[in-house]
Structure 1
Amino acid sequence: MTNPTPSTAAALIARSNRLGADPKNTNYAGGNTSAKGSETDPVTGEPVELLWVKGSGGDLGTLTEKGLAVLRLDRIRALVDVYPGVEREDEMVAAFDYCLHGKGGAAPSIDTAMHGLVDAPHVDHLHPDSGIAIATAADGQELTTTIFGDRVVWVPWRRPGFQLGLDIAEIKEKNPQAVGCILGGHGITAWGQTSEEAEANSLWIIDTAAAYIDEHSRPEPFGPALDGYAALPADERRAKAAALAPTIRGIASIDRPMVGHFTDSDVVLDFLAASEHPRLAALGTSCPDHFLRTKVKPLVLDLPAGAGVEESIARLKELASAYREDYQGYYDRHATADSPAIRGADPLIVLVPGVGMFSFGKDKQTARVAGEFYTNAINVMRGAEGLSTYAPIDEAEKFRIEYWALEEAKLQRMPKPKPLATRIALVTGAAGGIGRATAQKLAAEGACVVVADLDLARAEAAAAEIGGPDVAIGVAADVSKADAVQAMVDAAVLAFGGLDLVVNNAGLSLSKSLLETTEADWDLQHDVMAKGSFLVSKAAAKVLIEQEMGGDIVYISSKNSVFAGPNNIAYSATKADQAHQVRLLAAELGAHGVKVNGVNPDGVVQGSGIFASGWGANRAAVYGVEEKDLGKFYAQRTILKREVLPENIANAVFVLCGPDMTHTTGLHVPVDAGVAAAFLR
């Protein structure tokens, strides 16, 4: 890409980042900004007028130079003379590629015409809640005049594209006093002679609309409180959310697996507590950015906050069936012969009065952003209803956006998902050694990961290293206690919507002879590994069964589950217990599509908390070697003469849960570099 004039590019990026950093101005990845300027053409040596504009798919708050598309203004303006009309305006998007200047840069977005054709050096197009509230009010045009006078002009709804760019350019030309416009059903556009002026005009429109709404809104824009629909106390609503989450994720994943996000913000809870929420939710969202990520409307549980979990589950399943039928009808009413195939009839937003909102997407970020967008939509409805009546664009227009050929092409260009994409993994004992390596491997292959460990600080540090809350979270868990295990599973389903893959890895060991092993030693090891694995599998299986999406449980057992060595009675007995749990659960859970398998490592010294806590020194003493040489000793007693590392175990877990082992359950995979005495028989 050509190097833009530093002052022009720097000012545009700085303005974009400031506007995009504040959610009152625009939603994530919503809107675009531009600047026009001149630089020397490297071919002719003559000045050339250029447009720098945020490219397709970028986010204003994090925009960098790489996210800008750079186009020649003379070529953009020349497109006006060859424009074939609104029925063929989509063809103009491909034409933007022939207007590009230099190499690299982002792909031009559908809004490029708006920025290139409007006669102003700097243009902002944003999706602020306050602006969309005016844009979706039934009398939005009159409100625009009342609020802004002649400084802001109303533009009737038109789908984004070349014609909208022409419309706004004409309106600006006919209204030289105007600093921007309200786009019916959509958002705002503002302009200025300088970058500072454009930003100031954008903020003036946003803040003026918000102030007017605050001053003139009726007291209860969503209607009076609905008896029995007030928010439950925090602990109670989160417990109910965790209990409902597996059912809701299963509902959202009938057509394709989804990752979830839970929100119990006051904005959501207050909306669901009001009498008009069923009517407003049924009207759906309006701004194209909103319903592209939330579907045209949510699924709303029509029960009061105090309804029991079982009653709520049964009703949710009934409503899900009705939602799918309704969405299929929506598609059938508007699809034409050249429409893309239906992309799934499951809801992306599920609202539960008194509890909160569940949102879904192909990954955690997408799910979280979908929830943010529906929160934007609630704010829009509040503003519109407070001044007038909320009147979003009609269903046919929503369909034209949702099943737009250009949107379909964008989806087809997305990279192929990783093997474990949409899968949610829970790994116990995951702050170090085998558990940490396994969590890292699963995340690298596309999974969302819950890093569980007795030490919360270490669990959170491991999760942060993996990638942060959209990829991994750290939770504390003592797997020997049922209530702690349930809290761990609840944290997992509230963070990511559910569970798919559970790795029973938590463990410890005391290297003692039979006569030295105390009853407390025995109980401790069995509580953590035998009982702990049982408790984790039981709590996780309840989620897996309710989701109806299958799943995997993997036990990190040991070669000691089949190999008899000295001074190891308590540890090896618990590992034998774990090994048979694999067989028992494989037989029991297979009817639910849940695979249960095990991995049998030999001694993994590197990074091991067990070895570092005294086990290594004891085992080294048993075998008559230095502790620092224990890994080498273990390697030399194997057939392959290789030391077993944490990543070797992690790789085996991935294979067992990955796309190539879909028909394998009840298996133990030795990862011991070959110990003949531990061969499975």
Structure 2
Amino acid sequence: MTDTTTSTTPSTQDAAADLVARSNRLGADPRNTNYAGGNTSAKGTRTDPVTGEPVELLWVKGSGGDLGTLTEKNLAVLRLDRLRALVGVYPGVEREDEMVAAFDYCLHGKGGAAPSIDTAMHGLVGAEHVDHLHPDSGIALATAADGEALTAECFGDRVAWVPWRRPGFQLGLDIAAVREANPQAIGCILGGHGITAWGATSEEVEARSLEIIRTAEEFVAARTARLAEAGEHPFGAERDGYGALPADERRAKAARLAPVVRGIASHDAPQVGHFTDSGEVLDLLAREKLGPLAELGTSCPDHFLRTKVKPLVVDLPATATVEEITARLTELHEAYRADYAGYYERNADDASPAMRGADPAIVLVPGVGMFSFGKNKQTARVAGEFYVNAINVMRGAEAISTYAPIDEAEKFRIEYWALEEAKLQRMPAPKALATRVALVTGAGSGIGKAIAERLAAEGACVVVADIDLEGAKRVAEQLGGPDVAVAVRADVTSEDDVAALVDEAALAFGGVDLVVNNAGLSISKPLLETTGKDWDLQHDVMAKGSFLVAREAARAMIAQRMGGDIVYIASKNALFAGPNNIAYSATKADQAHQVRLLAAELGEHGIRVNGVNPDGVVRGSGIFAGGWGAKRAAVYGVPEEELGAYYAQRTLLKREVLPEHVAAAVFALTGPDLSQTTGLHVPVDSGVAAAFLR
């Protein structure tokens, strides 16, 4: 048995803080490690609060989280004597998963993160500080066909080689033994996986990690330059017709394809999408090795856990039309699902978790870019980032040798690992609108803002549309930024603006599932004072605008084949003949009838169309703040500041209606409880008998 009990020197009380600072520095640079990839640790001595005696401890990044944003609460703290004692009871590699539960019995104190699968690597390696990272350059060496020889060529005996082994207790023992057998080494390359470095101080291990990463980068860069001098490329020659389309054409085509691709990726479970057309992606898509390399799949466990073992690749040139690509995608999707099912059946046994779904997480379209998918926007975006990492790895491995990832049986052992399945089962239940993409017009203020806030709180991704871009940006930022909400300027009276709005939803989140036609205004005038301009403006914004938004959104929803919801924010005035507002009330009646017409027309596509009829929403309303309130107050002969109370007193419930009440009705119509309802108008007016629906 390898001796792993090398003593540590006492640390200062700042050991955890120093570890966090080092982790944040390393994690801030994507060249050092991918998102949420790797872990870091420090050992030191503290006084045991029970015995008063010194006790050796290990601080290590816990399960989950990201080095770039690591805090002390994300660290697991374990007693080294107990952790090292596990070596004596280790039952062998066939039962090594049992050791993860044993880590809990080594914890010191309370709180902190759950220990990760890599805890043994940090605790058993006889060095005070350890970094385990997933840099693209290091993984390029780790996945090269002759990676061991290339590691020696690149580093000499300064960096050792550790053959592929699934992360776990045995890998920790392997690395500890390699370090002991190679006292001159500063770290190692883990076959198919990443790098590990060690040092006596935090400064030393950080410097060694960076030395390994930068040396590997220089090695790969030199070989790449050598190929270029010979007129060659790691991914082979560029194929005629497969080069990147011009930026505007590329993004326009991506916007049209996104709902189609999202529907394919959501066959088993709804997904949110992300689009990437970076140089790395477009370069691979144009090259002759695209097909063979994509078929080999990713290698680093962090990669294929998020990207699936391989992508779906459209085998058509950039010049193919959207219609041709759509037809081909249907065929390729069927083949992909069959292939993934075969992969599962070849490798599963009686203890394997059930297949989680056979749809692709990554779809590559030459000339256009990459679509990535996940249970939310962040997961979809990160999946795309990981495939870019995989592209970098493949390019590096092909520059120095031949890309040779771990075989599919090993990939399956990780993808369907019981420990990974347990982690998935511990995740909180999704919110009611999770995976749904909502588009709300007039969302920069008032009722629209309240609706956007409620839909985001229920788990939806939100496109905040408003003619006031700055207002829309403020709302989107308040909702959580681009992983939750994006702001788009849109004049709903413009066909071009509305088409661009739906395109932006497709590029940001993959498509659209839920539309709220809320944009509006009101001009309160009696008939004889109402001008043609007054009439046209209100009908253009609300009647025509709602029609344009519903039409373009319906195109995307039909392409997705995932159903959808369209909600019109109409008004009590659609039914009730109030004084001095003929243009407003007439256009609201138009909107109300659009609900009925579209519910009848779009039902065959699973698209539900409903309406909300508010009344008396004064506080927080953009329309009332824009002068409508003063005019209506004058009509009723009350001070403007008392208008909300006046409206409340004329209702059956005597309660004032607020924007959040309208938002609650929108959620009720689009959430899971009214899934069989379409063509309905919900009054939110505290009870106006004259506006009762018949």
Is TM-score (shorter-chain normalized) higher than 0.5?
yes
CA distance in 2, matches of 1:31, 1:431: 40
Between 489-498 and 611-620, the greater mean CA deviation after superposition:
611-620
Contact 2:447 2:622 in 1 (8 A): no
Instruction: Work out the CA distance in 2 between the residues paired with 1:195 and 1:631.
Output: 63
TM-aligned CA deviation for residue 611 of structure 1:
1.0
Structure 1 SS opposite 2:293: helix
TM-score, normalisation: structure 1: 0.99
Counterpart CA distance in 1 for 2:52 and 2:106 is: 18
**Equivalent residue runs for 1:226-305 within 5 Å:** 226-305=239-318
For 2:19 and 2:472, the matched residues in 1 are separated by 40
Offset of residue 355 of structure 1: 0.6
Q: Does the CA-based 8 Å contact 2:42-2:128 persist in structure 1?
A: yes
User: 2:388 is matched with which residue?
Assistant: 375
Q: 1:484 deviation in Å? A: 0.3
Give the whole-Å Cα distance in 2 for the aligned partners of 1:662 and 1:651.
16
Counterparts of 2:462 and 2:37, CA distance in 1: 28
How far, CA to CA, are the matches of 2:124 and 2:296 in structure 1?
34
Equivalent-residue separation in structure 2 for 1:293 and 1:454 (angstroms): 37
Contact map agreement 2:138 2:195 (CA 8 A) in 1: yes
Look up the equivalent residue of 1:224 and give its one-letter code. A
Give a deviation string over 1:33-70, Cα, whole Å, max 9, x none.
Answer: 00000000011100000000000001100000000000
Q: Distance in 2 between matches of 1:454 and 1:632?
A: 30
- Distance in 2 between the 1:56 and 1:579 partners? 52
| Counterpart for residue 398 of structure 2 | 385
Alignment of 1:166-177 (within 5 A): 166-177=173-184
> Where does residue 410 of structure 1 map in the other structure?
423
After TM superposition, what 4+ stretches of structure 1 lie above 3 angstroms from structure 2?
A: none
Partner of 2:679: 666
Match of 1:485 among 491, 498, 507: 498
Q: Structure 2: give runs of 5+ residues left out of the alignment.
A: 1-10
Q: Does 1:553 align with 2:560?
A: no
Partner of 2:611: 598
Residue in 1 aligned with 2:3?
none
Structure 1 position 37 matched with structure 2 position 20: no
How do 1:47-86 and structure 2 match up within 5 A? 47-86=54-93
SS in 2 for 1:649: helix
What is the CA distance between 1:495 and its match in structure 2?
A: 0.3
1:315 aligns with 2:328: yes
Q: Which residue, out of 93, 100, 109, partners 1:93?
A: 100
What residue number does 1:525 align with?
Answer: 538
Aligned residue for 2:193? 186
Partner of 2:454: 441
Q: Give the whole-Å Cα distance in 2 for the aligned partners of 1:94 and 1:376.
A: 31
Instruction: Measure the CA separation in 2 of the matches of 1:5 and 1:152.
Output: 29
- Give the C-alpha shift of residue 606 in structure 1: 1.2
Superposed displacement of residue 6, structure 1: 3.3
Give yes or no for the alignment of 1:341 onto 2:354. yes
- Counterparts of 2:527 and 2:341 in 1: how far apart (Å)? 67
| Equivalent position SS for 1:338 | coil
Tell me the SS of whatever aligns to 2:20.
helix
Distance 1:57 1:199 in 2: 21
Superposition RMSD in Å: 0.7
Report the CA distance between 1:678 and its aligned residue. 0.4
Which segment is superposed worse, 334-343 or 612-621?
612-621
Q: 2:202 aligns with which of 166, 174, 195?
A: 195
Specify the SS of the correspondent of 1:567. coil
The residue that corresponds to 1:22 in the other structure is: 29
Whole-angstrom distance in 1 between the partners of 2:438 and 2:600 = 22
Does residue 1:507 correspond to 2:542, yes or no? Answer: no
Q: Is the 8 Å Cα contact of residues 616 and 648 (structure 2) preserved in structure 1? A: no
Q: Does 1:564 align with 2:571?
A: no
- 2:217 corresponds, among 210, 232, 242, to 210
**For 1:630 and 1:188, how far apart are their aligned partners in 2?**
68
Q: How many angstroms does 1:608 deviate by?
A: 1.5
2-structure distance, mates of 1:485, 1:629: 37
> Could you tell me how far apart the structure 1 residues matched to 2:692 and 2:616 are?
15
How many residue pairs align between the two structures? 678
**AA matched with 2:248:** D
Deviation per CA, 1:161-205, whole angstroms, max 9, x where unpaired?
000000000000010000000000000000000000000000000
Q: Is the CA contact (8 Å cut-off) linking 2:296 and 2:405 kept in structure 1? A: yes
Q: Distance in 2 between matches of 1:604 and 1:410?
A: 46
Q: Secondary structure at the match of 2:673?
A: coil
What is the CA–CA distance in structure 2 between the aligned matches of 1:481 and 1:174, rounded to whole Å?
A: 72
Q: CA deviation at 1:101?
A: 0.4
Q: Shift of residue 5 of structure 1?
A: 5.1
Give the Cα–Cα distance (whole angstroms) in 2 for the partners of residues 146 and 168 of structure 1. 20
2:413 is aligned, of 382, 396, 400, to 400
